[in-house]
Chains A and B, each alone.
Chain A
């Protein structure tokens, strides 16, 4: 039984250009799937259709037996609580502390008033510290986020996604702003989320090798169309050229 099923997904921001064309794929619970493709292929757009941060025009997305496209505002809010999101630029509130930022992930479960007053239960706070410890940044819990390094901020971002108790985590180029060693830490954490906690990960990536090392499956996107879908070992040189529309040599040179 698949957790996420996308059928004939299409998206256009303006009437003249179609950014996504007839996208079809299925993802099983606990799978780690990467999306690769050249800049402007529509990776970010596709990811954001899954939780309707971007409204799509055509097709159907079934997440956890919900028809995502037909949900009303309240139902959409509920859906979003079960989908975590991790961003390239971390998207934290820089002036607030680490622990506050992590607890923001609970807003979806609260009434507006509880959120404004910052009412969190003991379990929520304990869970937040547990997650910070798991990602190795508990000693920074009371620091302001803008005092943390990029890699540490991204781990805060992951904690915020995990405290939602999501079934799916969407990551939009989570390591694009990080150095290689921080990148490895982040990717290892994301991988363990899917293997240990059974949370499905859908990750946009720029680096083909990283995608090959970590993914159960890779989806290649070019000009809004899926041109490859398969395991890391199935991704040959030729396939990579098809996805990026160039020789890999040129890619490295560029």
Chain B
């Protein structure tokens, strides 16, 4: 980098910082959020958390029930993710420039991906609540739809990036579409795809809690019930269990990633 570009990039940093400061100021002014007041409540809030959100002997008695619900939520997240992965694999193949069958399916796949990805999971839950009501199908579908969008997009990129040249070579040998997909595209992209699927399983376990609150299922519902009955010790236990579960899943998926990549 020469001096001129360095000076230019330093200027860019300054301007960027200024913009951020102005934006922060403007948005807090518009929403009437007083930063100083907000900060002042922190000690009190922390005090409240420590005095109320304690796991007690009594709340530990609820552990088996909580674990059962947590288990249910984790399994549902995994099921929604894996099913979505299968659908996304096909949409990814249709959507990718290198493996598309025709333009119509390609546009279709990309459309599905962007629609389902750009609507947050919480919004999907609320939309699906209207038609399916408060049950586990709604939660499952909400996770499924959001995941299809995300994974399709990720798979399209993985396929485009990883296998374009090999696809060309195999086409030139006279290989059929499914031979090319199964022997060049999938072997080359699989580690990356698995990595994305693991990422979505982690994300979905976190999302499932929130979705559960809305759809009255799983660990989210348990959380909600204790919260509304002011049983804060149980709320603390639920939160603790979720954190531990997410950490364990994180650990496992990182381990798998290390092995396959």
Contact = CB atoms under 8 A, between A and B. Distances in A.
Nearest to A94: B188
Contacts of A94: 188
Contact of A104 (B168, B183, B188, B191): B183
Most chain A CB inside 10 Å of its own CB: which residue of B168, B172, B191:
B172
Contacts of A5: none
B172 A51 contact: yes
A91 B169 CA distance: 6
B254 interface: no
Contact of A85 (B169, B177, B187): B169
Contacts, number: 87
Interface stretch (A12-20, A29-37, A76-84): A76-84
A100 B182 CA distance: 13
Contact of A112 (B169, B171, B176): B176
Nearest to B175: A107
A160 B47 CA distance: 70
Interface residues of A, number: 36
Contacts of A210: none
A77 B169 CA distance: 13
Contact of B174 (A80, A91, A96, A170): A80
Interface in A113-154: 115-116, 118
B166 A107 contact: no
Q: Is the interface of B mostly helix, strand, loop or mixed?
A: helix
Nearest to A117: B182
Contacts of B188: 93-96
Contacts of A100: 183
Contact of A92 (B169, B172, B175, B176): B169
Nearest to A51: B172
Contacts of B175: 104, 107-108, 115
Contact of A91 (B168, B177, B179): B168
A91 B183 contact: no
B173 A110 contact: no
A213 to B, nearest CB: 27
Contacts of B169: 85, 87, 91-92, 104, 157, 160
A94 B173 CA distance: 17
B187 A83 contact: no
Nearest to B178: A112
Contacts of B166: 91-93
B182 A53 contact: no
B141 to A, nearest CB: 32
Contact of A95 (B165, B173, B180, B187): B187
Nearest to B165: A91
Given A77-B174, A107-B174, A160-B173, A53 B179 contact: no
Contacts of B173: 80-81, 84-85, 104-108, 160, 164
A107 B183 contact: yes
Interface string A220-233: 00000000000000
A206 interface: no
B163 interface: yes
Contact of B182 (A85, A105, A116): A116
B170 interface: yes
Nearest to A164: B173
Interface in A43-90: 51, 53, 76-81, 83-85, 87, 89-90
A83 B174 CA distance: 9
Interface in B150-195: 163, 165-166, 168-180, 182-184, 187-188, 191
Given A87-B165, A116-B178, A93 B172 contact: no
A126 to B, nearest CB: 19
Contacts of A104: 169-170, 173, 175, 183-184
Contacts of B163: 93
A115 B171 contact: no
A74 B59 CA distance: 70
Contacts of B172: 51, 53, 80, 83, 85, 170
Interface in A198-254: none
A162 to B, nearest CB: 11
Contacts of A83: 172
13 contacts: A53-B171, A77-B174, A87-B165, A92-B169, A95-B191, A96-B188, A104-B183, A104-B184, A107-B174, A115-B175, A115-B183, A116-B179, A116-B183
The 10 A-B pairs with the shortest beta carbon distances in the complex, nearest first, are A108-B174, A107-B175, A115-B179, A80-B174, A91-B169, A91-B165, A85-B172, A81-B174, A77-B174, A93-B166
Given A112-B177, A157-B169, 8 more contacts: A53-B172, A81-B173, A85-B172, A91-B166, A96-B188, A107-B170, A107-B176, A107-B183
Interface of B: 163, 165-166, 168-180, 182-184, 187-188, 191
